[in-house]
């Protein structure tokens, strides 16, 4: 599955991913200790919603635009982060995960970004100019392991690949297992597109066999049944989610479901432990 992000910026998957990422980092920041935030597949950092690629799919209309029109206060932090990079009511730009993470930084926190694609890496450096982020241009899986354990006692690794390679899931599984051996207490967030339920269950089974104990899965299925050959939703695997995050998750997920469900579908969004 090819998921080049410029075509999908601001879609429903982005809304869910970034709302949960904000909630996760905020939960960790309830303690004063420094955090290291690492984004292994950082992308361009900022996306033009009026550009050809985004307009070709029009997916922002069912994602960020619906979230901005919603009134649930649980989405306020997300809406504020999007509006921070825009002027006017209609969003022209969409912040990628690096720009969301930058807005969350406290003085003691560290942000490390990585993007292997040369053109996207140049765009990322431009988008992050004036921020304290360190930008790398390396293989994502090599960097993931090289940065662990983090120099600060706590940290978060965000893994958000385009799934262009047929072995992407296998590389994630193997690298996650190796990372857990080096950094068992660390928090890892893995984004994935949902193509069909059978393929997803097979991958979840392989991840379960890594033996990682605290392994949460959040799944957002847009349609009540698989729609062949198209994008059916997206989700996050989260290793070692903090208690404050999991406790606040049910109402946030319901707010997202209500805001993003396609007409005629329930827009199911659930959370459960992979190893249960």
Instruction: Please check whether residue 98 is in contact with residue 127, taking contact to mean a CB–CB distance below 8 angstroms.
Output: yes
- CA angle centred on 161, ends 158 and 205, rounded to 5°: 85
Q: State residue 53 phi and psi, 5-degree precision.
A: -65, -45
Q: Tokens 């999007």 sit at which residue?
A: 82
Residue pair 130/76 in contact by the 8 Å Cβ criterion: no
What is the distance between the alpha carbons of residues 1 and 51, in angstroms, rounded to a whole number? 22
Q: In this predicted model, which residue has the larger pLDDT, 223 or 32?
A: 32
Please write the tens of the pLDDT for every residue from 245-273: 999 999 999 999 999 988 888 889 999 99
| Catalytic residue of the set 39, 109, 160, 167 | 160
- Of residues 201, 183, 206, 209, the one with CA closest to residue 272: 201
Domain regions of the chain by residue span: 5-273
Verify cis geometry, omega within 30 degrees of 0, for the bond prior to 32: no
Q: Quick check: is 160 catalytic?
A: yes
pLDDT at position 264: 83
CATH of region 5-273, choose from 3.40.50.150, 1.10.10.10, 3.40.50.300, 3.30.160.270: 3.40.50.150
> pLDDT-based confidence at 53, cuts 50/70/90?
low
Residue 65's pLDDT is 94
């Amino acid at each position: 599955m090819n998921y080049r992000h410029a075509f999908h910026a601001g879609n429903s998957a982005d809304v869910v991913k970034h709302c949960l990422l904000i909630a996760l980092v905020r939960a960790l920041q309830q303690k004063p200790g420094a955090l290291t935030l690492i984004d292994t597949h950082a992308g361009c950092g900022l996306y033009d919603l009026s550009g050809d690629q985004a307009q070709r799919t029009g997916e922002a209309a069912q994602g960020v635009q619906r979230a901005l029109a919603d009134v649930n206060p649980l989405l306020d932090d997300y809406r504020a982060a999007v509006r921070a990079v825009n002027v006017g009511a209609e969003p022209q730009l969409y912040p990628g995960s690096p720009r969301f993470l930058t807005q969350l930084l406290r003085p003691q926190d560290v942000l490390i970004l990585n993007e292997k694609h040369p053109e996207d890496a140049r765009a990322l450096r431009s988008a992050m100019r004036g921020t304290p982020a360190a930008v790398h241009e390396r293989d994502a899986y090599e960097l993931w392991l090289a940065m662990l354990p983090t120099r600060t006692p706590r940290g978060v690794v965000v893994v958000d690949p385009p799934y262009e390679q047929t072995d992407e899931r296998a590389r994630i599984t193997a690298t996650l297992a190796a990372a857990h051996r080096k950094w068992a207490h660390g928090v890892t967030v893995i984004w994935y597109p949902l193509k069909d339920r059978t393929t997803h269950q097979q991958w979840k089974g392989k991840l379960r066999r890594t033996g990682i104990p605290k392994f949460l899965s959040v799944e957002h299925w847009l349609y009540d049944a698989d729609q062949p050959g198209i994008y059916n939703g997206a989700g996050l695997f989260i290793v070692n989610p903090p208690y404050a995050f999991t406790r606040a998750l049910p109402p946030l997920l319901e707010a997202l479901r209500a805001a993003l469900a396609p007409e005629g579908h329930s827009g199911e969004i659930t959370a459960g432990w992979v190893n249960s």
